């Protein structure tokens, strides 16, 4: 039982490049989330998916897109990376939206030069 | 939307001392309050949570208290150990709408041996 698996762990991009962060969970959870973590800013929600087939914007969605591919997988795409998107990204899942504890992936450290 | 304030941002204690981290929230409809611990370079993990029908909850050396009238909740760690050194995040989850938790900005706890 791996929990929440995120790839890649590290990535360096040049401004304007695109990339997709992958996330998969094996706990049969309904809800999945993407957060970014910046020093002193806590965890800020980018997008979430309450259930398979639905996605919604969080607090900081600009510059990102998401896809809930199936119940297990939730990907985050940066279409044209900017230095302001340098951050640590965490995927998370929960059995039910918001009312149960979150299980986090191990994070992706992204640098945009 | 919900707003969560967390204090202090940094807390330095001697091993064996107690540590208290405080959070306030703005949405009186919030009813689920988890606390996450994030060790350096690791993912956040839930350490304790409390729901609005309970005033206090304990788990060995950690406890959480909730005052719904004042809209604040606190994490208490007794007999601190060096392995308690980490960043701690509080969160508040509304009982309606999106049910998405809002996180505080985090407290860096340093326990000196």
| SS3 labels along B8-58 | CCEEEEECCCCEEEEEEECCCCEEEEEEEEECCCCCCEEEEEEECCCCEEE
Return the residue of B nearest to A4 by Cα: B43
Q: Determine contact, residues B32/B83, Cβ cutoff 8 Å.
A: no
Q: Choose the closest CB to A101 out of B43, B46, B103.
A: B46
pLDDT band at B96 (very low <50, low <70, confident <90, very high): confident
Strand, helix or coil at B64?
strand
Residue B44 CA to residue A73 CA, distance in Å, equals: 20
| Closest partner CB to A48 (pick from B32, B46, B100) | B100
**Nearest residue, CB atoms, B105 vs list A40, A96, A98:** A40
Q: Which residue of A has its CA nearest to B2?
A: A59
Q: Coil, helix or strand for B83? A: helix
The predicted pLDDT at position B60 comes to: 96
Calculate ∠ Cα A68-A105-A9, nearest 5°: 100
Q: pLDDT per residue over B49-88, tens digit each?
A: 999 887 899 999 999 999 999 999 999 999 999 999 999 9
Whose tokens are 């909730």? That residue is B66
Q: Is the peptide bond before B8 cis (omega within 30 degrees of 0)?
A: yes
Q: Which residues pair with B112 in a beta bridge?
A: B14
Pair type for strands A10-13 and A108-112: parallel
Residues B100/B93, Cβ–Cβ less than 8 Å:
yes
Question: For residues A42 and A30, is the Cβ–Cβ distance under 8 A?
Answer: no
| Pick from A25-29, A95-99, B4-8, B33-37: least confident | A95-99
In this predicted structure, what is the pLDDT of residue B6?
A: 97
Tally C-beta pairs within 8 A across A and B.
51
pLDDT for A98 equals 65
Predicted local confidence at residue A2, as pLDDT? 83
What sign results for the dihedral spanned by CA atoms B76, B113, A88, B43?
negative
Contact call for A42 and B106, based on CB within 8 A = yes
The rounded distance, in Å, linking the Cα atoms of A29 and A99 is 12
Instruction: Kindly list the residues of chain B whose beta carbon comes within 8 Å of any beta carbon in chain A.
Output: 6, 9, 32, 34, 36, 42-46, 49, 89, 93-94, 98-101, 103-106
| Per-residue pLDDT at A99 | 73
Cα separation of A2 and A24, whole Å?
A: 9
- Under an 8 A CB cutoff, do A43 and B89 touch? yes
Query: Per residue of chain A (113 residues), what is the pLDDT tens digit?
Result: 689 999 999 999 999 999 999 999 999 999 999 999 998 888 999 999 988 889 999 999 999 999 998 999 999 999 999 999 999 999 999 987 667 899 999 999 999 99
Torsion angle (degrees, nearest 10) of CA A91, B32, B27, A84: -10
């Amino acid at each position: 039982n791996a929990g929440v698996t995120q790839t890649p762990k590290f990535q360096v991009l040049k401004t304007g490049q695109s990339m997709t962060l992958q996330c998969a969970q094996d706990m049969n959870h309904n809800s999945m989330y993407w957060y970014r973590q910046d020093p002193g800013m806590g965890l800020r929600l980018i997008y979430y998916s309450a259930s398979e087939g639905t996605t919604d914007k969080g607090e900081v969605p600009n510059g990102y897109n998401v896809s809930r591919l199936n119940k297990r997988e939730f990907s985050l795409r940066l279409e044209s990376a900017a230095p302001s998107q340098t951050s640590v990204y965490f995927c998370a899942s929960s059995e039910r939206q918001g009312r149960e504890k979150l299980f986090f992936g191990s994070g992706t450290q992204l640098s945009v030069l | 939307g919900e707003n969560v304030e967390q204090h202090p941002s940094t807390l330095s204690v001697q091993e064996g001392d107690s540590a208290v981290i405080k959070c306030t929230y703005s949405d009186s409809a919030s009813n689920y309050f988890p606390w996450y611990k994030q060790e350096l370079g690791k993912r956040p993990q839930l350490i304790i949570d409390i729901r609005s029908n309970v005033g206090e909850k304990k788990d060995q050396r950690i406890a959480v208290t909730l005052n719904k009238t004042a809209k604040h909740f606190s994490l208490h760690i007794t007999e601190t150990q060096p392995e308690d050194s980490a960043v701690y995040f509080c969160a508040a989850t509304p009982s309606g709408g999106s049910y998405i938790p809002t996180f505080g900005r985090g407290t860096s706890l340093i326990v000196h041996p």
